[in-house]
């Protein structure tokens, strides 16, 4: 398992009964987590006095209960800064487990010894974009949500990366890739973090089990003559790491290189266990 264990401003304090107790900077949150199917004694005092608690509803969805959480606050990871705020379906605007992939990609970019162009699809609030840009890459950041792209720009600004070579695009990721292929544009590295399920602007249904393989195949047409890496993330329970290995190995075989996939996770302070948080597939030359 690849573990995001270098955080100072984030910590999973405990996990029990379908929920995790987290420290985001100086604020304590309780949020649901479907992986936490065990029940242990909740001895950490944060369980009783969190700053906010997201309650799942038996009818689906849920809502936040706020005690002393501001509307917005910041946390840091190395030289990067992220603005956080509680919003729909338990999220804060950051997936801290992805830091293990930020480190991996950033190291490859710094060690490449040349200019690297990165395409980040389903780029959300820009964690991977900022990590790649901070390492010296030119990044094209694509997300279908205007609000998420605006948020990512704010994260870039507070991270001191306003002038970094980042191209911000609000677009459907598949349609963007198809247009880039027609334009003849190429990239040295591709990152994608597709949702498990979603709908396009015209009601098109996105289901990762059906769409991920065609998208990976499509994206290989955008790789440069000297590609550096290809990273795919999945939060879908049925799409295990071995499946990601097979998909990447199948579609990137002509480039040679090496594929490895594994679960990503976060350490739990109270128990010493690792909380699984999805899977990642990595191809490198």
Assess if residue 32 is contained within a domain: yes
Q: Are residues 166 and 67 in the same domain?
A: no
Tens digits of residue pLDDT in 77-95: 999 999 999 988 899 999 9
Assess if residue 78 is contained within a domain: no
Average pLDDT score over residue span 192-201 = 75
For the chain, how big is the Rg over CA atoms in Å? 19
Assess if residue 11 is contained within a domain: yes
CATH of the domain at 240: 3.40.50.150
Percent of the chain with pLDDT over 90: 88
Measure the CA–CA gap between 75 and 42, rounded to whole angstroms: 26
Measured in residues, the chain has a length of: 285
Counting the structural domains of the chain, the total is 2
Q: Are residues 126 and 67 in the same domain?
A: no
Could you identify the residue written with the tokens 């690849």?
A: 2
Q: Are residues 216 and 269 in the same domain?
A: yes
Q: Are residues 100 and 240 in the same domain?
A: yes
Q: Are residues 25 and 116 in the same domain?
A: no
**E strand map for 40-179:** 52-56, 62-66, 73-77, 80-84, 117-121, 138-143, 166-170
Assess if residue 81 is contained within a domain: no
| pLDDT > 70? residue 19 | yes
Residue span of the structural domain in which 110 resides = 96-284
pLDDT at 235: 85
Least confident of 101-115, 129-143, 195-209: 195-209
Average pLDDT, the chain: 94
Average pLDDT score over residue span 21-30 = 98
Assess if residue 83 is contained within a domain: no
pLDDT at 210: 79
Q: Are residues 259 and 141 in the same domain?
A: yes
| pLDDT > 80? residue 198 | no
Measure the CA–CA gap between 194 and 158, rounded to whole angstroms: 26
Assess if residue 177 is contained within a domain: yes
Measure the CA–CA gap between 170 and 122, rounded to whole angstroms: 10
> How far is CA 27 from its chain centroid?
21
Burial grade of 191 (CB within 10 A; 0-12, 13-18, 19 or more): buried
Q: Are residues 40 and 123 in the same domain?
A: no
Exposure string over 73-105, b if 16+ CB within 10 A, otherwise e? bebebeebbbbbebeeebebbbbbbbbbbbbbb
């Amino acid at each position: 398992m690849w573990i995001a264990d270098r955080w100072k401003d984030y910590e999973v304090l405990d996990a029990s009964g379908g929920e995790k107790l987290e420290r985001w900077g100086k604020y304590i949150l309780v949020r649901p987590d479907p992986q936490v199917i065990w029940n242990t004694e909740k001895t950490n005092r944060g369980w009783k006095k969190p700053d906010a608690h997201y309650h799942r509803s038996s009818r689906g969805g849920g809502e936040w209960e706020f005690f002393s959480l501001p509307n917005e606050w910041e946390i840091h990871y190395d030289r990067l800064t992220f603005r956080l705020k509680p919003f729909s379906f338990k999220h804060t605007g950051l997936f801290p487990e992805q830091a293990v992939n930020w480190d991996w990609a950033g190291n490859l970019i710094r060690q490449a010894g040349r200019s690297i162009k990165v395409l980040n699809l389903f780029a959300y609030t820009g964690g991977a974009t900022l990590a790649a840009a901070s390492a010296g890459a030119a990044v094209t950041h694509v997300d279908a949500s205007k609000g998420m792209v605006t948020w990512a720009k704010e994260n870039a600004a507070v991270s001191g990366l306003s002038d970094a070579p980042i191209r911000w695009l609000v677009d459907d990721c598949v349609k963007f890739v198809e247009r880039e292929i027609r334009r003849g544009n190429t990239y040295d590295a591709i990152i994608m973090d597709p949702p498990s399920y979603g709908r396009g602007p015209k009601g098109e249904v996105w289901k990762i089990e059906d769409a991920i393989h065609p998208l990976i195949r499509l994206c290989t047409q955008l790789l440069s003559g000297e590609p550096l890496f290809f990273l795919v993330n999945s939060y879908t329970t049925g799409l295990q790491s071995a499946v990601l290995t097979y998909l990447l190995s199948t579609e990137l075989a002509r480039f040679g290189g090496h594929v490895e996939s594994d679960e990503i996770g976060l350490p739990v302070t109270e128990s010493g266990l690792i909380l699984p948080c999805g899977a990642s597939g990595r191809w490198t030359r």
